[in-house]
Amino acid sequence: MRGYAPASPDNKYPHRYLTMPTFKAPVRDINFVLNDVLNVGQLAEFERYADATPDIVEGVVDEAAKLIENQIAPLNQAGDTVGAQFKDGHVEMVDGFKEAFQAYAENGWMGLSADPEYGGQGLPFVLSKAVEDMLCAGNVAFALYPGLTQGCYEGLEANASDEIKATYLEKLANGEWAGTMCMTEPQAGSDVGAVKTKAEPQDDGSYLLNGGKIFISSGQHEMTPNIVHFVLARLPDSPPGVKGLTTFVVPRKLVNADGSVGDDNGVSCVSIEEKMGLHGSCTCTMQYDNARGWMVGKPNQGIQSMFVMMNKARIMVGMQGLGQCELATQTAIRYAQDRVQGKPLTGGDDVPIIAHPDVRRMLLTMKAITEGARVMAYETSLYEDISVASPDEAQREAASDWVELGTPLTKAFCTDAAVELGSLAIQVYGGHGYIKEHGVEQILRDSKILCLYEGTNGIQAMDLVRRKIKMKGGALPQRFFDKVEAELETYAGDAPEVADALRTALAALKDGTAWLQQQLKDDPDAAGAGAVPYQRAFALTWLGMNWLRMAAKAKVLPDDAFKQGKLATAKFFAAAILPEVGSLCSSIQRNASLTMDLPAEAFLAA
């Protein structure tokens, strides 16, 4: 991606004022969140993460940023304009993608948090997500290739036999082979229980799979000599619905006894989708014709096996949204700093548009959402590490509860925000934002799918309301309420304006939570109708807590510009955005039941 080009001196070509923006990894902010706000160094106290000292963490972030900025982000424009191509039964990648994938793998980024037993580096999950944040900002289409490989690794590590792990995990962890997860079928989108792909048992313990899958990211490409598919299918004697699903590992090419790549398996890509965005990512329609596979986990427990991977995949998609938020925000800020147009309201000569109040409102909104969401996404990932590494059972349970709560919030809020901020970035650019050559409209096109796959954001909201706020008698939201109150007690004096707004938001969220918990018993449709606004209200309250902590931590920093940016943005968030919580929770209680009143046939009545 090219850098900004100044306006021509004679203004001969004003429509060429700027070209494509250059991505710069937000290393300073990432290190601030990890070290100052979340104290990621606490993980080094656990034996599993003894090497994850602050120096190591900062070194990893710095090195990843260099590779992403220099080799991967520059491919983003070609990925969008050229895209993956399906020719003669094969997927052709964008020039440079294969080399970038190999560089990413060879430098250990694929297996950053993978088990050292299988060739990984064994570093914290949260650190791998920080790298993913940068990767998804630099080139989100490219990020799907390592992302799906990591997802496949996670699914096999959690559920597969030792023999299957020995065959596949190291190859996935080091990026020698790529991976996918294959769930969706034409008749089975969100309703995975409708999956029809069949798996017939064979005398040698393997299975022959027959059927088709759609919307399979990274389903076929030539960047690696083999692709490992984690497939949801149905045994001949399985019961109907989700209770009859089983998972299988199905390699594109069979694996020889010595671990080398063997003959073709019956796995093929028959087409790729032409999409609104993410053109550099191949989204494949896959066909399994007597494809040989091996069962992962127990029969008819595939949905449990798949959800181990899907929960982490939802955090991954949240990181994709966060990355696009970052790209939209920094792109809009740099444009606004350079674009000279219009006189200030106070009079005088033309000024950069960042001087205009409404442009500042948009930029501060983008900055407040992006930086606040980064803390939420990283904190959810940090709790994932604590849930597996802490020697204390009570601490593991509490951390697991936080992951349960934070996963739908991270996935839904960060991806909704990517669309919102992508639109705001176009608005900052004005007409130039609508023109393809400037690249900013790509953010909006790339981001929309993030709200849809791995469970739509409406499904995330239903998960939050129907499951998470009821679990353990409401213990999950109560943990959050207690945490916010504890942070208020600790930091209120450092940022009183933020603290006051947060107290008001917390009270409204508590009230909204209690109302929904009751409606789940009295009027489930009303609870369902209020789920999405409640999810936003919950996430914004979490962001309010984040801005309280960031303001307190920033006050003692020696970097005046960074400190000033944090403190001003915290006050803006508290005054301009956090009050949404009260209105959202109020409207849920007033209007949710009205959603079901209109008969379906009356929606298009003449």
Write the burial class of residue 590 (CB in 10 Å: 0-12 exposed, 13-18 middle, 19+ buried): exposed
3-state helix, strand, coil in the chain (%, to 5): 65, 10, 25
What does the block give as tokens for 97?
């993608």
Position of tokens 């490409």? 221
C-alpha 415/C-alpha 317 separation (Å) is 7
Q: 462: which residues sit within 8 A by CB, 6+ positions away?
A: 528, 531
Q: Looking at the DSSP assignment, which residues form a beta bridge with residue 207?
A: 201, 293
C-alpha to C-alpha distance for 552 and 572, rounded to whole angstroms: 15
Catalytic residue among 69, 157, 170, 454: 454
User: Of 175, 178, 442, 415, nearest to 314 (Cα)?
Assistant: 415
Chain center to CA of 139: 13
Q: What does the alpha-carbon distance between residue 475 and residue 505 come to, in Å, rounded to a whole number?
A: 19
Residue found by looking up tokens 């309301």 in the block: 465
Report the length, in residues, of the chain: 606
Contact at 8 Å (CB) between 319 and 137?
Answer: no
CA angle 408, 536, 381 (to 5 degrees): 35
Q: Is 454 a catalytic residue?
A: yes
**What is the distance between the alpha carbons of residues 168 and 153, in angstroms, rounded to a whole number?**
8
DSSP conformation letters of 52-79: --HHHHHHHHHHHHHHIIIIIGGGHHHH
Note whether 527 and 514 are within 8 A (CB): no
- Residue 488: DSSP 8-state: H
Angle at 319 between CA 481 and CA 426, to 5 degrees: 105
Q: Which residues are catalytic?
A: 454
